[in-house]
Structure 1
Amino acid sequence: MKLTSFQSKILIALISLFLLSAVIYFYSSQETTLPKMTVQEKKARFKELIIPAVNEVYAELMEQYQDVSASLKSGDNIEEIEELKVEYKAKSDAELLMALKPHPKSIAIAQAAMESSWATSRFFREAYNIFGVWSFDEDEPRIAALQKRGDKTIWVKEYSSVKASVRDYYRTIARSTAFKEFRKLKMKTDDPFALVKKLDRYSEKGAEYGHELTSIIKFNKFHKLKEVNTED
């Protein structure tokens, strides 16, 4: 059957659209596909990507914690402190300090390794989401998980950088009521093996989650990382 001029134009347009989609898909998949790596190579890549960001965020948060602690003692910067209380849902000075004091880097790094499969997960590759943080706000940058919960789409946050992801993770731990006992305990100890037991609500694995974090920290010697001095 001979095509009319109009039909030919439509066919050409459809073919062009198909080819363009194929090219876009090819290059986007190339950007997020990782080469095959040994376990050692994967871990080395993870450390290069994640640890510098954790170090930076930890140092910044520790400096803020120490500054606020000093202000509470001196009575300075009252307005700023009240704003921080609102941001971190703190009802008292003590709760604010619990929220602001960063927990050991070894825990953050171990969680990053577990949640992102050593920085190889799709969430990390496409959205810098290292910690599997969900999104419940349709107006914020986010991507959909490939699997659903029944008919419900699961969304995870999309970040602009590794550092932004790390900072939001620390903020989540600092604000959520699910980690209140964790925050209380970190004011008494920096022992990561004691603290991870209080992260059972971070994952559906419950208490097993803490056991797995303990194994990751010990096996990879993350607890040997030098922490910033927490003394005032």
Structure 2
Amino acid sequence: MIKYFLIFLSLTINAFSLESIYFTQGTNPLEEYNNDEKIFGYIQSAKVDLYTQPKESCNKFATTVNKKISTPSDITIFKSKEIKPINYTNTISLNKLQVSEKKQKFFHMLLPAILISKQKFKVLRTRAKNIIEQDNPSNEDLVFLDKMYKKFKTTNNKELLSRMKTHPVSIVLAQAAIESAWGESRFFKEGNNIFGMWSYNRNEPRIRARETRKGKAIYVKKYKNLSDAIDDYFVTIGRGAYKNFRKHRDITKDPLQLVQYLVNYCELKGKYTKKLKKFIIKNRLTKFDKFEIDRKYI
């Protein structure tokens, strides 16, 4: 307790001299650390949680390859389980394709973005864990940790590390297909908004919905690429009304077990989680849980 009181005191004393809090709505929560080695630093000796990535890949962000999609043929179908981190900057309709090809293209369009995001959060979580375990963290470390507290809306270290975890690719793919109507929603095509995330900040890029709620306009977020949309999704799951899901995410990696705890994600409650489970099984999505980013890009 004394240790963390001193951390809090140090942050308070230096509050006016430190840079402004990085994690603000309307910015990419991970971009700054990707480009600023001085602030972020690479973790060389942290105790690694084996939740997703192998040890060798826990200390670097993926070097992404941005790509624009003009036709469905621009979407890479991955033959190997070690994939190139392609970050698509736009989406297109796949409706003219045969059903089987449409599904394949949709999943492989989103797969690299999910793995890019999972790698980012793995690095950030490992960084936070390493700082928490230190006896005398530096001011830069304390600034970083404070930003994580604010982003994930907690000041409890155990809770922070739980909230910063991600979950199996198969769950993300299933929700993405359902929430975006297989990529045919207007928000997905115009703003890379996979999950229909609402916007409450008039200063961030966003799209006005045609519907209103109680006579007021509704806006959804507009992302510059698919990876940013996945980042926002993981943060939402990490700090929203999904405590029971996060609790079981700490216990198991089985997607068919985990989906039943996403009852608060949709107004359909249990019907939604049953739909997710059936969707994962029918489309054999658990095979994607074995994919990872090619190590030469990390």
Aligned residue number for residue 192 of structure 1: 255
CA deviation vs aligned residue, 1:86-135 (integer Å, no higher than 9, x gap): 22111211110011111222111111111111222111101100011111
Taking a change above 3 Å as real, the CA distance of residues 92 and 216 of structure 1, as seen in their structure-2 partners, is same
Taking the TM superposition and a 5 Å limit, the aligned residue runs for 1:1-232 are 36-75=96-135, 76=137, 77-176=141-240, 178-224=241-287, 225-226=289-290
Letter in 2 for 1:115: E
- Find the aligned partners of 1:79 and 1:147 in 2 and give their Cα distance: 41
Q: Comparing both structures, which one devotes a greater share of its residues to helix?
A: 1
Kept in 1: contact 2:95–2:102 (CA 8 A):
no
The DSSP-based 3-state class of the residue aligned with 1:154 is strand
Deviation at 1:150, TM superposition (A): 4.8
Please tell me whether the aligned partners of residues 54 and 166 of structure 1 are also in contact (alpha carbons under 8 angstroms): yes
Aligned equivalents of 2:291 and 2:246: distance in 1?
17
The unaligned stretches of length 5 or more in structure 2 are 1-90, 293-298
Counterpart residue number, 1:26: none
Give how far 1:221 is off: 1.6
Spell out structure 1 runs of 4+ moving beyond 4 A. 31-35
AA at the equivalent of 1:64: L
Considering only CA atoms, is the larger Rg found in Structure 1 or Structure 2? 1
Q: CA 1:33/1:43 → structure 2, altered by over 3 Å: closer, same or farther?
A: closer
Aligned residues: 197
SS of residue paired to 1:201: helix
Return 5+ residue gaps in structure 1 as ranges.
1-30
Q: Percent identity?
A: 36
* Residue 149 to residue 38, structure 1, CA distance change in 2 (3 Å): farther
Amino acid at match of 1:218: I
Corresponding residue for residue 11 of structure 1: none
- Bigger drift between 197-206 and 76-85 goes to 76-85
Structure with more contact order per residue of length (Cα contacts < 8 Å, sep ≥ 6): 2
Structure 1 contact 104–227 (Cα < 8 Å) conserved: no
Name the CA distance, whole Å, in 1 between partners of 2:121 and 2:92. Answer: 31
Mapped partners of 2:104, 2:123: distance in 1: 28
Alpha-carbon distance between aligned partners in 2 of 1:38 and 1:147, rounded to the nearest angstrom:
31
Provide TM-score, normalisation by structure 2: 0.61
